Amino acid sequence: MTKETITRQTVKELDQQDSLQSFKSEFYTRDSHYYMDGNSLGLLSKRAEQTVLRSLQDWKEQAIDGWTEGREPWFYMSEKIGEMTAPLVGAKPHEVINTGSITTNLHQLIATFYQPEEKRTKILADALNFPSDIYALQSQIEQKGLRHEEQLIQVESKDGYTLDENDIIEQMDEQVAVLLLPSILYRSGQLLDMKRITEEAHKRGIIVGFDLAHSIGAIPHELHDWNVDFAVWCTYKYLNSGPGGVGGLYVHERHLGQKPGLAGWFSSKKEKQFDMEHTLTPAETASAYQIGTPHILSSAPLLGSLELFHEAGMDSIRQKSLKLTRLLMNLIHQELSDFGFQIVNPLEDERRGGHVSLVHPDAASICKALKSERVTPDYRSPNVIRLAPIALYTSFEDVYDTVMILKEIMSSGKHKDFKNERGIIA
């Protein structure tokens, strides 16, 4: 932690030096409101709004001809977005497609790559993963006529918040067929060493997949060069596609050309799709892992949103993100050390994702108090407050103000006016 006192002047100077400061004006933000929940739902950008309106206009003017004659033809939209997304995950354009939802895509890829035989019947995951991923893995194991209680291995955490890569590697053996891990742990913000994990798994003949929900749009990736077999992600967090925005997936090119585990009309090679044959000719790209008709109105925002990522550059976004979270942690240490907060995310830059996780026994009531004071945080049961300053639309002064508001809440005891229990949606 820094030993120099951080003042408002300090953060104003950081904002003056910020090469990404102009991007904030691209988003719809509220005056005197501090949005620290972009790792759950990103803000709407003006460009995303325009690309949705463009697709609506195509529907209005072209009707069904919008599939091929619109300004952004719907029939090719998923592939176009995949090509725009590929640089963010370090993939080749034909290795990425935007389709479905993150859980649907996980079902698709596990159905494709999990083929238990002889000794290799197990899936290796972790005990801290988001429940949806675990539900999907359990379901896919049961679809193969096996018991998930026997075939799903979950690496335990020593502290309840982070994972040790050595513990993961220790569980890799000849019985494991597929490994699925989050790139960044949603609860603590820990960034796993994806390259090392992939190398170690491949030495042991294990297929490797990652859930990039909390890393895509926050950190650079090199999935192709790391030889990751597959990955899935959502786009409504850091990529700002809007609530329920279309998901995305990546499959390394060495696996392309095979029949998907879950086939559907849009799995087809595009030139063959409207032949209406009852024998599938899969696309030779990641398009083969589509199932149903693309969700156009939840895809269209990405056409505008992704432009901003290309203009800003992922390296610049990552560097600002690290500075923001470092500032946030330093301010917590400086201003909140007397109030019982514990930072549980890794402190090292190379091990930290895009958010800061605070543990406090009154976390739920503190989050409610923050909302009443114009700060939007994120609560995770039972005692975690997540704060995510987003590089494209959070200033350094925003971070400063957030901590000062939190300090005032704790000093006055205002959080005690609220019940320390989560709402229906937390």
Binding residues for pyridoxal 5'-phosphate: 102-103, 130-133, 211, 214, 236, 265, 293
Q: How many angstroms separate the CA atoms of 72 and 349, rounded?
A: 39
Q: For 356-390, give one letter per residue: b (16+ CB within 10 A) or e.
A: bbbbbebbbbbbbbbeeeebbbbbbeebbbbbbbb
Q: Which amino acid is at 31?
A: D
Q: How many angstroms separate the CA atoms of 335 and 343, rounded?
A: 13
Three-state DSSP state, 154:
strand
Extract the annotated binding site: 102-103, 130-133, 211, 214, 236, 265, 293
List all residues 6 or more positions away from 424 whose beta carbon is below 8 Å from its beta carbon: none
Pairing of strands 96-98, 152-155: unpaired
List all residues 6 or more positions away from 66 whose beta carbon is below 8 Å from its beta carbon: 55, 58, 59, 73, 74
The answer to whether the CB of 191 falls within 8 A of the CB of 219 is yes
Q: For 161-190, give one letter per residue: b (16+ CB within 10 A) or e.
A: bbbebeebbebbeebbbbbbbbbbbbbbbb
Cis-peptide, bond into residue 220, ω within 30° of zero: no
List all residues 6 or more positions away from 329 whose beta carbon is below 8 Å from its beta carbon: 1, 343, 347, 356
Q: What is the DSSP string of 110-142?
A: HHHH---BTTB-EEEEETTS-HHHHHHHHHHHH
> Could you tell me which of 409, 380, 426 has the C-alpha nearest to residue 418?
409
How large is the greatest C-alpha to C-alpha distance in the chain, in angstroms? 70
